[in-house]
Amino acid sequence: DWARNHSGDPEIEAAIQRGEDPGLGLVTKAYNYIHKYGHKSKLMAAAVRNKQDLFSLLGVDYVIAPLKILQSLKESITAPDEKYSYIRRLSPQSAANHNFTAEELTKWDQLSLASAMGPASMQLLAAGLEGYVNQANRVEELLDKIWPPPNV
């Protein structure tokens, strides 16, 4: 969503011109990097919007998908021989075969990474952290209402 609303990044613009979703491309690239170079990290894809996005990410370590997408998968009418024939798009084997450019393999420090990521990194990180703070505050407010329990 951020990429669609903020232009100027040449990599994002090129992906959009090719008809690719920049978010799916980022998840694919991150998965390939993590698994090609043996990092212990796991990748979780979120904000999946439809079944096609989900199918494009088959093989990612974890995925968060809305209930409506999972329900539509359950309700899909598929022939028994096709039901389990989906193609895994992401795997350690496909990651091992992925070729990164020298620029993509540059060693990053925090400043150069933030600079290369551009305004998306700062805006999205700030928004994400603010969301977590808001959720934590809500939980604290709820706990204040029920704690301590009566008659204790």
Residue 7's pLDDT band, with cuts at 50, 70 and 90, is: low
pLDDT for 147: 81
Residue closest to 46 by CA, chosen among 109, 33, 149, 30: 30
pLDDT in tens, 44-76: 998 888 888 998 999 999 998 899 998 988 887
Q: Are 112 and 3 in contact (CB under 8 A)?
A: no
Give the 3-state DSSP-derived string for 26-87, with helices as H, strands as E and coil as C: HHHHHHHHHHHCCCCCCCEECCCCCHHHHHHCCCCCEECCCHHHHHHHHHCCCCCCCCCCCC
pLDDT of residue 119: 72
Query: Are the C-beta atoms of 116 and 108 separated by less than 8 Å?
Result: yes
Amino acid, single-letter form, for residue 87: I
pTM to 2 decimal places: 0.69
Instruction: Collapse the DSSP code of 151 into the 3-class scheme (helix H, G, I; strand E, B; otherwise coil) and give the result.
Output: coil
- Per domain, the residue ranges of the chain are 1-98, 106-151
Q: Which two tokens stand for residue 75?
A: 């309700």
